[in-house]
Amino acid sequence: MTAVGKLLVFLNLVFSLVVGAFAVMDYTARAHWKDKYDQLAASYSVSEGTARAYKSEAERLTKEKGDLNALLTRVGQAQLKIERPEDVDRVAKLMVGMLEERADAINKLKGDVNNLKKQVDDEKAKALKYNTTATVAREDIGRRQDDVAKLRDQLNMETDRNNKLVKEINTERDENVAHKIDAAALRSRNDDLLRDVARLEARTKALEALAKAGGVSPTNQKGGMGKAFGQTVPPPPTDVEGLVQKAAGNLVTISIGGDAGIAKGQIMQVFRFGPNPKYLGKIRIVEVTPNQAVGQAVDRMSSPMQVGDRVAPRIITGN
């Protein structure tokens, strides 16, 4: 193989390596551009440096080619020497072949250089495209972040408004339950008064009939009505309040007893506070100790009594 052929093979190898490097860079950029975007500027700088290095190498090879041509010229002077008439045709053919070979080598080198420049331009265009895409992506991310911030503010406002409405609803519900408890307590008190009036009327009629039959006035009977019909149960103190300590069906044990003024036969109100406050009903005291008492449900309770329910002579509308 001639020196020119070796030179061309070497140049072909160099340019093949360049094309392979750019192919690898192109594949890496396409497969991992999102992860390698931050390194794109550096890769682009490296590509420019590589291109400059390849250009310098091409110039060096061109110079070596010129030197080689000069050497070949010097070496081939003996072949190009014309001493006989028949040497003219041989030298002419030899010169034409050498010129054509050199022209082909030069054209190939020019083509390789143009391809290299085209690859560099393509890489620049790709880098510009990536920069444009990244800029658009950053702007889109910024808009989406602004939208998310607005939605978060709206969500916080709606959450605060919802919490406020829930508090208002809970307050209104508690007030409504308290009013219902007051109304139930008033109805219960009214029923108690009506029953007391009915019992007093019955007692009065019975005393009048007894007085007529025995000639004794109800007002001057020794011992009065209490003696005739038993001792009247004293009302419980209005300022006492207890808790249900035990509950078994319609019987409950409460935390107040005789020391607090509780007496057998008294009527107490049972109600409940908490998340679902309600009025439960009435109990009658059937057993009393100094610190405790046992009560029995008078009528059907609105809900079963349980430990922790409040017990008092009247309904208390607050915790």
- What is the reported pLDDT for 33? 56
- pLDDT in the model for residue 112: 84
Whether pLDDT at 73 is above 90: no
CA distances from 199 to 91, 191, 193, 209, 265 (A): 157, 12, 10, 15, 15
Residue 107, phi then psi, degrees to nearest 5: -65, -40
Per the model's pLDDT, the better-predicted residue between 168 and 222 turns out to be 168
* Partners of residue 253 on adjacent β-strands: 246, 294
Residue 221: pLDDT band (50, 70, 90) is: very low
Task: Report whether 299 contacts 281 (CB < 8 A).
Answer: yes
The answer to whether 115 and 64 have CB atoms below 8 angstroms apart is no
pLDDT at 227: 42
Domain regions of the chain by residue span: 3-152, 233-312
- pLDDT tens for 94-116 read 778 877 887 888 888 888 888 88
Query: With bands split at pLDDT 50, 70 and 90, how would you rate the model's confidence at 214?
Result: low
pTM confidence score: 0.33
Distance CA 16, CA 11 (A): 8
Write down the pLDDT at residue 216.
42
Q: What's the CATH architecture for 233-312?
A: Beta Barrel (2.40)
Convert the pLDDT of each residue in 249-260 to its tens digit: 899 999 999 999
Tell me how far apart the alpha carbons of residues 28 and 194 are, in angstroms, rounded to a whole number.
97
At 135 the three-state DSSP class reads: helix
Cα torsion through 178, 179, 182, 184, rounded to 10: -100
Mean pLDDT, rounded, for 17-41: 66
Query: What whole-number percentage of the chain has pLDDT above 70?
Result: 71
